[in-house]
Structure 1
Amino acid sequence: MPRTLYCFIWQVSGAHQLWITVLSILLFGIGTSSLEVQRRIVNDALRGEVYRPILILAGLYLGISIAEGLVKLCLNIYRNWVGERAVRALRQSVFVTGEGGTIAPIPDLTEGIQLSIVLEEADPLGGFVGEAFSEPVLQAGVLISVVGYLLYLQPLMALLVVFVFFPQIGFVPLMQNAINRRVQTRVGLLREMSGEIVGARGAIDGDGRQHTRIHAVFMQNMAIYKLKFSMNFLMNLMTQLGVTAILALGGYFVVVGKIEIGTVVAFLSGLSRINDPWGDLVTWYRDLQATRVKYRLLCEAQQLGAIAGEVGE
């Protein structure tokens, strides 16, 4: 198997990643344009001018929304198709090791690893293949384009929005590293359980070790949940601080006549556009780190003969 996760991803998906990336760029380009349309609709309505331009802008907004939805539909189907092909290839590679008949008996641990790969480990690893390149391109593209647009509208308020997300750069990697350690421990425990079941020719727990492992998996899962949801809580808290700052500062600028109310609406909408891709980017980073751990374990499984050395498309 390739030495790194991304070499493996390129091996099993190849040029499909380029087309997925193109769709991602198209998607964030379409989505950002709707912010300006929203701002103009609100400002035109508050000025009390003729209704026809507002109706045209509303129709344009609907068209942009439909186009965005269709591109997203195509992107999601394409990404999942690529991911499922990788899952299929991983599962097939387990059975390749037994083709032609195996003379030497396979150790129980190796059989347990094969069972774990087929039933559990292939799905998250293969699923990441579909979004490995496109997700950071899409979400980072949305972030850059929306922040750039907000800087164009009102630099001070835009810098305030950016400042809200700075603390997350510190606590997200620290908490994710803690999650990764627990993911690796959990995978090891499940492999040991599978190996014991294969060795005993059934779910037999005469010495109580399996029950101990089951409890250990439970504890690892709960630790992962606590870290993950605590991270989500802190991220949501920072977002709400951003909303509060926009309402306070934006309201002041409207009162003194420095900006129009449509700009405040655009900032609130822009913050939600930033929050979603930022959360998705953090989730992608979290999945990347966890998948690297799982891929390293998969490479170790290949050294034990549990999986074929080459994984096809």
Structure 2
Amino acid sequence: MSLLDRYHDVFHKISATFGYHYHESTPDWVHPFLHLILVLAPALLTAVTGFLTIRFILKQWRRPRVVTPQRDWIRGLDPRLFNAVLRHSRKQQALMITLSLIAMPILYLTLELPKQIVNNALDSDRFPVRFWDYEFDQVAFLLVLCGLYLFAIILSGLNKYILNVFKGYVAERFLRRFRLLVFRQWRSDPDSKNQSEIVPILAQEVEPIGGFAADVLTLPIMQGGTLATILLFMFMQDPVLGAAALTVLPIQLILLPKLQRRVNILSRKRISEVRQLGRLLSDQLRGEAAGSQPLLRTSTSFRELEQVRRRIFHLKFFIKSLNNFLTALTPFLFYSLGGYFVIEGRISLGALVAVLAAHKDFSAPLKELFRYYQTLEDTRIRYHEITTFFSKVEANRKEVPRHDFALEVVHA
């Protein structure tokens, strides 16, 4: 037996494990589709996941075992972003995680009920239906299922509303505390009048950090749980269609993080250009620069900032377009292979409709997780830039009378 024959034998066993058995009437085009879904895509996903895991482990292992304590550059705030967020919002994070986990069974119910409506209320001749001590005709049973679906939607919307409002509270509370700490550190510097960068720091650079404080744990748990719930629902309808939902995921894991790293480099450069522009404008306002040279330097700074932002926009929109294209490929498999399964009688029409609706929701949490990765990297850059800025302040700081901002921060 040749190697190719052995491969086909193993593939047929894998296909049988997923509940699909080949026969003479199986169309030829189904064969490569199942090869892609059941063998090639899972193998690539396993390889990519293993590579990312090994790289993460090696990155952690190569870190110095003995770490010298970092200077607390901003008094009252940890130099590490995650530690700073969790230090000031640990109880609120636990409550938001609880609300996120409550949303998972409600989500599964909103996915299951449309299938039940199509299969058992619209496409069924088993009426009247007896449930407990009550009998329902077709119209009454349809209204009952639709009422349950409406109730599940209301619960889901109410849960999301409460969670989002509370996230806003946590974000603004952490942002106010962070701004007070940054402002106190700036006031403690004897040369604070020369620090024109404090305006963009307090007005712009700290905003994303406050928003990230509410999403640091809640968003990956909420979106990751949503992704797992939808994937479980798909596999419950048909294992092959559930595996098809993961077909393009390896490509997304390979390409999107690499492109995002390039965006992060440009974001760091943009922050540097904004601060340089602030210094130039501050010098001109104090009259320390005269003649046409300041105008030329300011114009050059404007042009550099424009070019950096254009490159960021090009990369971000390319990432978005690529992600949308890859996400749109999976419904093609559902319509073709899933439609064939409906004709063959393997799955019901309601199950296919439910899988298509679920995949529409499947792409949203996946995008949110990629966006979380982008936000995480961008926020880390901003946080690092702010703490690095104040490390210079701490190095040059002299003994000055303390202001009572510490008391304000405690009460904040």
Equivalent residues of 1:139, 1:280 under 8 A apart = yes
Cα deviation, residue 263, structure 1:
0.8
Q: Of the two structures, which has the highest relative contact order with CA contacts closer than 8 Å and spacing of 6 or more? A: 1
Match for residue 170 of structure 1 among 245, 251, 254: 254
Question: Counterpart of 1:282 in structure 2: which amino acid?
Answer: F
In our comparison, the structure showing a higher alpha carbon Rg is 2
Structure-1 residue corresponding to 2:381: 293
Residues 194 and 258 (structure 1), Cα distance of their counterparts in 2 relative to 1, 3 Å cut? same
Cα deviation, residue 97, structure 1:
3.2
SS at 2:312 equivalent:
helix
1:42-191 correspondence to structure 2 within 5 Å: 42-44=118-120, 45-48=122-125, 49=127, 50-97=138-185, 104-106=190-192, 108=194, 111-191=195-275
Residues 286 and 98 (structure 1), Cα distance of their counterparts in 2 relative to 1, 3 Å cut? closer
Unmatched 5+ stretches in structure 1: none
Structure-1 residue corresponding to 2:110: 34
Question: Counterpart of 2:100 in structure 1: which amino acid?
Answer: S
Equivalent residues of 1:113, 1:301 under 8 A apart = no
Cα deviation, residue 32, structure 1:
2.3
Equivalent residues of 1:135, 1:284 under 8 A apart = yes
Paired with 1:117 and 1:277, the residues of 2 have a C-alpha distance of 31
CA displacement 1:59-84 (0-9 Å, x = unmatched): 01100101111111111111111111
Paired with 2:185 and 2:249, the residues of 1 have a C-alpha distance of 48
Cα deviation, residue 10, structure 1:
1.1
Structure-2 residue corresponding to 1:263: 351
Structure-1 residue corresponding to 2:97: 21
Equivalent residues of 1:183, 1:290 under 8 A apart = yes
Structure-2 residue corresponding to 1:281: 369
Paired with 2:286 and 2:357, the residues of 1 have a C-alpha distance of 56
Cα deviation, residue 207, structure 1:
4.6
Equivalent residues of 1:24, 1:137 under 8 A apart = yes
Cα deviation, residue 267, structure 1:
0.8
Deviation larger for 196-205 or 234-243 = 196-205
Cα deviation, residue 107, structure 1:
6.3
Residues 98 and 154 (structure 1), Cα distance of their counterparts in 2 relative to 1, 3 Å cut? closer
Paired with 2:251 and 2:183, the residues of 1 have a C-alpha distance of 47
Residue 231, structure 1, aligned to residue 319, structure 2: yes
Cα deviation, residue 294, structure 1:
0.8
Paired with 1:32 and 1:191, the residues of 2 have a C-alpha distance of 48
Residue 245, structure 1, aligned to residue 333, structure 2: yes
Paired with 1:223 and 1:96, the residues of 2 have a C-alpha distance of 36
Paired with 1:2 and 1:285, the residues of 2 have a C-alpha distance of 21
SS at 2:285 equivalent:
coil
Residues 122 and 260 (structure 1), Cα distance of their counterparts in 2 relative to 1, 3 Å cut? same
Question: Counterpart of 1:140 in structure 2: which amino acid?
Answer: G
Identity percentage of aligned residues: 25
Equivalent residues of 2:185, 2:390 under 8 A apart = no
Paired with 2:378 and 2:84, the residues of 1 have a C-alpha distance of 15
- TM-score, normalised to structure 1's length? 0.92
Structure-1 residue corresponding to 2:68: none
SS at 2:79 equivalent:
coil
Paired with 1:95 and 1:164, the residues of 2 have a C-alpha distance of 47
Paired with 1:27 and 1:225, the residues of 2 have a C-alpha distance of 34
More helix by percentage: 1
Residues 167 and 301 (structure 1), Cα distance of their counterparts in 2 relative to 1, 3 Å cut? same
Residues 202 and 158 (structure 1), Cα distance of their counterparts in 2 relative to 1, 3 Å cut? farther
Structure-2 residue corresponding to 1:216: 304
Q: How many residues are paired up?
A: 309
Paired with 1:143 and 1:83, the residues of 2 have a C-alpha distance of 25
Equivalent residues of 1:2, 1:8 under 8 A apart = yes
Paired with 1:112 and 1:172, the residues of 2 have a C-alpha distance of 36
